[in-house]
Chain A
Amino acid sequence: MSLLTFIQNLNTTVTEIAWSIFVLAWAVGWALRGSPIPIFRIKRGGQDIIEDAIIAAFFLAIGSTIFYLISYIASQV
Chain B
Amino acid sequence: MWNVFEILFYAQLLASLSYSLGSLFYALPIPVYGIKKWGPRLISDSIYVMVWTTIYTGVLGFAQQLLSLLGVSWGSYFQWLYQVENYDIIQYEIIKALLDALQYLGGTFAPFMLFSFLLAVSTSFIEFLTIISQMIYQYTGIFVALGILLMSLPFRIGRSIGASFIAATLVFYVGLPYLPTFLAQLDLNILNLHLPPNPSVTFILQYAIPEIFIANLLMPSSYIILLSGLSIGLGNAIGGYGSRVPFMVEIP
Contact = CB atoms under 8 A, between A and B. Distances in A.
Interface stretch (B11-19, B121-129, B201-209, B222-230): B11-19
B24 interface: yes
Contact of A11 (B13, B28, B251): B13
A7 B20 CA distance: 12
A25 B43 CA distance: 19
A71 B13 contact: yes
B111 to A, nearest CB: 60
Residue of A53, A67, A74 ringed by the most chain B CB atoms within 10 A? A67
Given A49-B31, A53-B29, A7 B13 contact: yes
A3 B9 CA distance: 12
Interface size grouping (class) on chain B? 20 to 34
Contacts of A11: 13, 16-17, 20
Interface string B28-64: 1101000010010001000000000000000000000
B23 A18 contact: yes
Interface in A41-72: 45, 48-49, 52-53, 55-57, 59-60, 63-64, 67, 70-71
B11 to A, nearest CB: 11
B117 interface: no
Contact of B23 (A7, A28, A56, A74): A56
B13 A55 contact: no
Contacts of A64: 20
Contact of A55 (B9, B26, B28, B31): B26
B10 A60 contact: no
A4 B12 CA distance: 11
B29 A71 contact: no
B13 A21 contact: no
A63 B23 contact: yes
A56 B22 CA distance: 8
A3 B15 CA distance: 15
Contact of A14 (B10, B21, B251): B21
Q: Which 4 A-B pairs have the closest CB atoms?
A: A56-B27, A56-B26, A18-B24, A67-B16
Given A18-B21, A53-B27, 5 more contacts: A7-B17, A49-B29, A52-B36, A64-B20, A71-B16
Interface of A: 3-4, 7-8, 10-11, 14-15, 17-18, 21-22, 24-25, 28-29, 45, 48-49, 52-53, 55-57, 59-60, 63-64, 67, 70-71, 74
